Structure 1
């Protein structure tokens, strides 16, 4: 079982692309909107040093931006 969290904002087109990619591949994930939860923005910056979204945490590894190849690579 993969543990996947996608960190997003409401206005980010690449966030939508990432969520669509996961949905089309029947990959379940949790979404955290960092606009609605600023503490989580601090969390991802502390983990990756990156401010942008989407950031996807997969089993403790991080994928920055919309990157289907890296997402597939980190899935069990």
Structure 2
């Protein structure tokens, strides 16, 4: 079972594309909106060193931005 977490903001078009892509692939995911959750936002930056979204954690590996190929390479 894949553990997929997508970090998003409310206004990010690439976040919507990413969520739609995961849904189309039948990949379940948890969404964390860092715009609404400042603690999660700080933790994300501390972990990855990046402010931008989307960022996706897949089984402990990180994908920055909307990168379907990288995502599919990490999904088991």
Q: Report how many residues are paired.
A: 76
TM-score, normalised via structure 2 length: 0.98
Match of 1:22 in 2: 22
Query: Is residue 2:44 matched to residue 1:44?
Result: yes
- 5+ residue gaps, structure 2, are none
SS at the partner of 1:39? helix
1:8-66 deviation digits (Å, cap 9, x = unpaired) = 00000000000000000000000000011011111111111000000000000000000
In 1, Cα distance between the equivalents of 2:5 and 2:62? 10
TM-score, normalised via structure 1 length: 0.98
In 2, Cα distance between the equivalents of 1:53 and 1:43? 13
In 1, Cα distance between the equivalents of 2:46 and 2:61? 14
Match of 1:11 in 2: 11
